[in-house]
Each structure stands twice: as C-alpha cells, then as structure tokens.
Amino acid sequence: MPDHKKIEVSMVDEADCKAVWLINNDPEIRSMSFSQESIPYEDHIKWFQKKITDKNSKMYKFVSSNKIVGLVRLDVEKKQALVNIAVRHEFRGKGVGTEILRLTIILAKGLKLKTLLAEIKQTNKPSLKLFNKLGFFEKETILVNKEKVTKLELNV
Ligand SMILES: CC(C)(COP(=O)(O)OP(=O)(O)OC[C@H]1O[C@@H](n2cnc3c(N)ncnc32)[C@H](O)[C@@H]1OP(=O)(O)O)[C@@H](O)C(=O)NCCC(=O)NCCS
C-alpha cells in the first residue's frame, strides 16, 4: 500500500505515453468512461500527443515509490475544469483516490480556477463517494447514451 504522504505529483510528459495508455485501458476504467471500447495503442499515441500539447488540458501523474499510482486530467475552459481521475487498479480502495483528489483541489487553486466539475455515471459508486467526500455537490442528472450521469461541482 502506498504511503499517501509520499505521493508526489508532476505533469505527465512524453515518456509517460505508454503508462497512461495502460492505466486508461484498464477494463474497469473503460466501463466507467463515456467511450467504452478498448483503445488501440496507435489511437492513444495520437490522442496523447494532442493532449500534452493542448494548453487547456493539464495531465498530472501521482507517483509513489517510483510507480504511477494514479492520473488526473483537467480539461480547462475559462475558470472551470472538468476532472478526470483514475487510480491504478491494484491501488484502489486504499485511500489513494482521496489523496489524489485532495492534491488536485490544491493544484486547481494554484491554477486560479474557480470551479471543478465532474460527470460521473450513477453506477460508479466509488467515484460518487469520492467526489462527495471531498465536498463536490450534485448539481443535476443528465442522460448520456441512455445512462444516468451525475454532474457535480466544487467551488475551489
Ligand atoms: C474512482 C476511483 C478514482 C477511486 O479511487 P480509490 O483509490 O479507490 O478511492 P479511495 O480508496 O480513496 O476511496 C474513496 C471512497 O470510495 C469508497 N470506495 C472505494 N472503492 C469502493 C467500492 N468498490 N465500492 C464502494 N465504495 C468504494 C471508499 O470507501 C472511500 O470512501 P470512504 O473514505 O468514505 O470509505 C477509482 O476507483 C478509479 O480509478 N476508478 C476508475 C476510474 C473512474 O471511475 N474515474 C471517475 C470518473 S472521472
């Protein structure tokens, strides 16, 4: 189990391309995403190149004992950002997500953002619990591909 006090955050860089693909292609992460098919590596490379050069997309890696334990992407629009969080499978349910989201809120303050947004499928109980726990409030429920999705917000 990673020691939460030793989780360090830095920006994702070119060298993390494959590690990000491996985390994002985890079947459980795909099933909780809006596009559920597994991602071919070639497609991922194109997406990744676009994202790391996009100034409105901030990708962070969270590292403990030289291992990436989780990722966060902030898709920024004006003073708001949509949060996308993923914890590596073997580190889930141990408080890593809580620590990563806590650090993300600090990063958002540093970026002078006003609001963090999340869009979470209602079937994704661990994620809803996590965002509620850190103070996000449920704003509305929408339907995406006939699935109920909760939109949450936090004023940072
Ligand atoms: C959502 C996710 C980031 C949570 O990370 P995590 O490291 O497991 O989170 P934590 O261990 O800090 O747990 C957070 C809360 O969820 C609860 N939880 C964790 N796993 C759970 C599970 N399988 N079922 C129900 N609740 C669960 C925990 O009990 C905790 O609440 P508590 O502190 O009140 O007990 C992780 O499950 C994940 O990567 N999921 C796939 C990607 C995803 O769904 N992202 C969200 C969309 S943006």
Here the CATH number for the domain that contains residue 94 is 3.40.630.30
Mean pLDDT in residue range 111-121: 97
- In the prediction, which pLDDT does 34 show? 78
Model confidence pLDDT, tens digit, residues 59-106 = 999 999 999 999 999 999 999 999 999 999 999 999 999 999 999 999
Q: Tell me the CA–centroid distance for residue 97 and ligand 1, in Å.
A: 6
Is residue 86 within 8 Å of residue 31, measured between CB atoms?
no
Q: Tell me the CA–centroid distance for residue 72 and ligand 1, in Å.
A: 14
pLDDT of 1 above 60: no
Ligand 1 neighbour 95 (Cβ under 6 A): yes
Give SS3 for 137.
Answer: strand
Q: Which atom of ligand 1 is nearest to the CA of 87?
A: 39
Tokens of 37: 């098919």
- In the prediction, which pLDDT does 5 show? 65
Q: How far apart are CA 80 and CA 118, in angstroms?
A: 11
Give SS3 for 126.
Answer: helix
CA 40 to chain centre: 20
Backbone angles phi, psi at 83, to 5 degrees: -95, 135
Ligand 1 neighbour 133 (Cβ under 6 A): yes
Q: Which domain holds residue 139?
A: 4-155
Q: Tell me the CA–centroid distance for residue 106 and ligand 1, in Å.
A: 19
- In the prediction, which pLDDT does 32 show? 79
Q: Element (H or E) spanning 147, and its range?
A: strand 147-155
Q: Which atom of ligand 1 is nearest to the CA of 32?
A: 44
Model confidence pLDDT, tens digit, residues 13-48 = 999 999 999 999 888 887 778 777 888 999 999 999
- Number of domains the chain contains: 1
